[in-house]
Amino acid sequence: MPLVGCLVPICAQLHVCNTDTGEFDVYGDDDTTSPHNPKSVRHIIENLLNSLQLSFDVLTIVHPGHRDVDVNEIYTMAHGYSMDVYIIPSLMARFMAVFSQLKLTLHKFWSFAMITHAAGADCHVIRSFARDTGGFKVVQDTYQHPGVVFDPTKFTCKPEKVVYVTFEYGHPGRPVHHDYPVPLPEGYPFDRAHFRDFASMLFEGGLAKARQIVGHGRFPLMADFVDTIAAVVNGETYHIFKLGYPIPAETKFRKMLKSKSVVQIKSGMMLIFDGICMKRISLPMHRGNYPPGYVEISISVDSYGLVTFMDASPTDSGSAKSPLVSAGSPLPLKSAKVQKESSESMPPVKRTVVSAPVEVKEPWKYQNVIGYEFMSTKFILHDDDGTPIEVAADGVAEIEPGTPLTSTLVHDHIEAVFSRLPRSAADANVLVISHDGNCSSSWIGIAVDVASFYLSLEAKVYVIYDTIAYSRVALRHLNWSPSDGSDTVFLVMVNGTYCRYVILERSKESGFGWGIVESVKLSFATTSELANLLSSALDRYPNTTTRLLLTDRAPLSLQQQTAKLSIRILRVKSFDTALMEGILDFADSVADSDVPGYRRQRDITSPVYFKQDFGAMQELANDGEVTFSQNVMVDPSLGGFKVFQRISTFSSYQYVLFEASAVPEDCNSVQVIINNEPFSFPIVRIVPSMNNADPMITFKSHMPTEISASSSVASLQSMVEEKPKFVKPLLSKEETEAIRYKHLKSAGAEISISFDIASSTAVIDFVGKTGFEVITDWNGNKNIPFVVSFANESPSVGVSALVDFKEHPDRVVWDLFHILGRNVNEVIVNPKWTFDIMEATRFDNTAMIAFETTKGRVMTAPSGITAMFLRAIQKLVVAKTGINPRRFFFHVPPLSTSRVHAMVKEACNVAGITFSGSNNLKSS
């Protein structure tokens, strides 16, 4: 998950959230109640970011509305440390902060008023614009005089509820009175959001917005809007945009001036932090002196929230004024992409995020090319704007992982895919096929032959390894030039606990094209171990200062370790996306005859190995020539042999070039002849002649399989369709069952419940007079799903709860053993969960579960939901046996902590049953 942060340019602080762990950190000055000089904050923050050596995915900058704050300057500086930088107005931050505190109640209301307790009270009315999406927008603002009773009828949109925003401190050490300055009509619903001080609220809201942007936590959508923009002429105010107007927006201000006038365009109604009080001000954005006559000023707010003014009126000298961009605009709400400095208006382009600024990534240039990942069902093409997209071959089924591959299967699958080639790609002049080396080179040859049949006669087919595609992504983000001006790049690719580093070099002989001259696969258990391995590798390349690490996850520990080695992190959305971009970028480079040499690629010269079935592996001499041969001694008694390479990025797959099932008895040596044209597939010939057999290879994803941190009910839908899997008995032998029975009888247990964390099911044993009786559900299932549904008035469990998941997925809760007894930062969130994990209170981070019910959204302790499951089991036993059991014993998953066992005991207390003990906790 990403690393996000928030800056408020009146405070020398940086607030950080590591979404991998859920941890929050604050760096810099401890005091937020005493604002710094805005002109000095920029340097303080920059020094802080430099010292931390962190690489962010998103940084939000909350515009405080202060006249002296140059947010654009801080915004530009921040791009050296973050992939995306968002400028948000204080009102957006205030809304996000309030909602993060009151999210369980506000979503029930169609509209509400937010009254900020200050010297007086600012009031903003916020309403839902699409109830199904949970989105809100600001529709009205006003000033509430202290002591005057709140009158909801004077608003165009009558608020259903009032939220008071109050603070603990104003001036350093000086408390704010906690009485509410604006009284409400009797019985009017209200709530309260309380913060330490105004700046703390902005930090909390800005960080909440950053988390929302990267998809961490559930927050409402707040529609991007224009703040109030007005023109002031000779003391009279003319509104141009009113608060809440959606962006992008464009209009013109026209006015006939009778005498020489000063025209000011202001963005106003902003809150600033000024000691104990927050004052309303209008932030000057544009000012000009105009002679008598007609004045016309064009004002536009783009989709990134940036405000631009174009003055079309004649000046005193008669010349037109040039475009003027607001230097202190508080409006940007989306990521304003960095633009190249140019006299012309350039489209926004993205910057790479590292610990120091790097070059701008080159925009996509459209070429008529196709990319294809071997054995997939999708083509990689250019969208209308040139960006890479995937287009599926309709009606072609995916190859399931584990499927044995054969030449026939490969042929039929490739033919099925390319026979559905999109019409827009039928006349492509380049096809690039990428693979990760878990196949046979003869199969790649089949793919090339079949695909060529469906392309134009002029089309060329290139074959590359996935590692080349990933290196293209890294070089593209460097804009094809190392930051130190050298011809060498040290590139590390990290996926989970798998890693490969490569050395990229430019060669003058190949027109300064890039090639991989060394490639080494590593595996590690901790980031410290990875750092030691990379440090040893860098000892052999001490002069390589351009060092990049490509990854889709960058926990804080990884960032800290790589910063020590001066390795900058380049975060990608996913390796699948990076592969897609790299394949298409390579295709563009070979399709464009005018592409400069430094964008061209040299193929990898990878070692070739020879091994008999029961013999030792030996490396063949490969001098990099297109064709080379070598005599190899063989022993028929050692079985057949295999010629292969190891080119997979993150695994040890074998790329089989030739395989013989046996060696003739009279043969003691073979000549291996390999023809390896660049960007093709190796062709191997053996003398004396032998047949090339299909290797025994099963289809695998190009990514290594990793164990999910939370397996649980991987697909509730499939569990509804299929009978739940049986849990493996804890003790299967007759004699050990007798021991277990004796133990449970001595504990006084009447019911034994055995939970299985992998299938999220439970086996119920009734402890009878002579032995166990398995209690099944009404469908005869021995394994009862440990799932609870709140789709109806009364909770239901087991298969009934799974059935409810079809129509009401947000009302079903499962995976409780991944949540019981844990704090929020200890819970590893399963992306398939349809419920939320939340802190119990602001001061208690015990994990709670928030979910929908028939009566609205509620938040409940996991032990409480477990208690509902236990009550249902108790009722089932009564119905099946006629006996009402009171004493329960639990077999909890062996890796569960003592806190989990304690929470099971707490669930018994809530359910009104007796806890007889568990496999790690005795009864009391």
Give the model confidence (pLDDT) of 230-241 as tens digits.
Answer: 777 776 777 777
Prior bond to 682 cis, omega within 30?
no
The stretch 867-888 carries a mean pLDDT of: 91
Query: Which of 300-309, 313-322, 398-407 is the least confident region?
Result: 313-322
The stretch 787-799 carries a mean pLDDT of: 91
**Residue 898, amino acid:** S
Taking the C-alpha atoms of residue 102 and residue 191, their distance in angstroms, rounded to an integer, is 8
The stretch 315-320 carries a mean pLDDT of: 39
Tokens describing residue 358: 């790097």
Query: Which of 4-13, 175-184, 799-808 is the least confident region?
Result: 175-184
Q: How many helices (H) and strands (E) does the chain have?
A: 15, 49
Report the pLDDT value the prediction gives residue 631, as an integer from 0 to 100: 92
Indicate whether 467 pLDDT > 90. Answer: yes
pLDDT bin (cut points 50, 70, 90) of residue 64 is low
- 324 versus 628: which is more confidently predicted? 628
Q: How crowded is residue 809: how many other Cβ atoms within 10 Å of its Cβ?
A: 17
**pTM given for the model:** 0.46
Please state the separation of Cα 142 from the chain's center in Å.
Answer: 38
> If you average pLDDT over every residue of the chain, what do you get?
77
Residue ranges of domains in the chain: 45-94, 189-278, 662-702, 736-920
What ranges make up the beta strands (E) of 402-546?
A: 430-435, 460-465, 488-495, 498-507, 513-523
pLDDT bin (cut points 50, 70, 90) of residue 6 is very high
Residue 170 φ then ψ, to 5°: -115, -100
Indicate whether 104 pLDDT > 60. Answer: yes
CA distances from 96 to 62, 222, 849, 879 (A): 12, 8, 21, 50
Q: Which residues contact 230 (CB under 8 A, 6 or more apart)?
A: 237, 238, 239, 240, 265, 266, 268, 282
Q: What is the DSSP string of 387-439?
A: -EEEEE-TTPPPPPTTPBP-HHHHHHHHHHHHTT--GGGTT-SEEEEEE-S-S
Report the pLDDT value the prediction gives residue 322, as an integer from 0 to 100: 38
Exposure class string for 193-220: b at 16+ Cβ within 10 A, else e: bebebbbbbbbbbbbbbbbbbbebbebb
Indicate the fold that domain 736-920 takes in CATH: Nucleotidyltransferase; domain 5 (3.30.420)
Q: How does pLDDT run across 676-722, given as a tens digit for each residue?
A: 888 998 889 999 988 888 777 777 655 544 333 333 344 444 444 44
Least Cα distance to 482 among 511, 445, 512, 458 occurs for 512
Taking the C-alpha atoms of residue 782 and residue 802, their distance in angstroms, rounded to an integer, is 16
Indicate whether 358 pLDDT > 50. Answer: no
Region of residue 85 (phi > 0: left; psi between -120 and 50: alpha; otherwise: beta): beta
Prior bond to 862 cis, omega within 30?
no
Q: Which residues contact 785 (CB under 8 A, 6 or more apart)?
A: 713, 719, 724, 760, 761, 762, 797, 798, 799, 801, 802, 814
Least Cα distance to 263 among 322, 326, 311, 319 occurs for 311
Q: To which residue do tokens 């392309």 refer?
A: 455
Q: How does pLDDT run across 571-627, given as a tens digit for each residue?
A: 888 899 899 999 999 998 888 877 777 788 888 888 899 999 888 899 987 666 778
Report the pLDDT value the prediction gives residue 342, as an integer from 0 to 100: 31
pLDDT bin (cut points 50, 70, 90) of residue 302 is low
| Cβ atoms of residues 55 and 568 within 8 Å | yes
Q: Which residues contact 437 (CB under 8 A, 6 or more apart)?
A: 465, 466, 645, 646, 647, 648, 653, 654, 655
Indicate whether 259 pLDDT > 50. Answer: yes
Sheet with 856-860: strands ordered across: 836-841, 844-853, 856-860
Q: How crowded is residue 232: how many other Cβ atoms within 10 Å of its Cβ?
A: 17
H/E element holding 907? helix 898-911
Q: How does pLDDT run across 810-867, given as a tens digit for each residue?
A: 999 988 888 888 888 778 777 788 898 988 877 778 889 999 998 888 889 999 999 9
The stretch 223-252 carries a mean pLDDT of: 72
pLDDT bin (cut points 50, 70, 90) of residue 786 is very high
Percentage of the chain surpassing pLDDT 90?
18
Report the pLDDT value the prediction gives residue 698, as an integer from 0 to 100: 72
- 478 versus 538: which is more confidently predicted? 538
Taking the C-alpha atoms of residue 550 and residue 495, their distance in angstroms, rounded to an integer, is 9
pLDDT bin (cut points 50, 70, 90) of residue 411 is very high
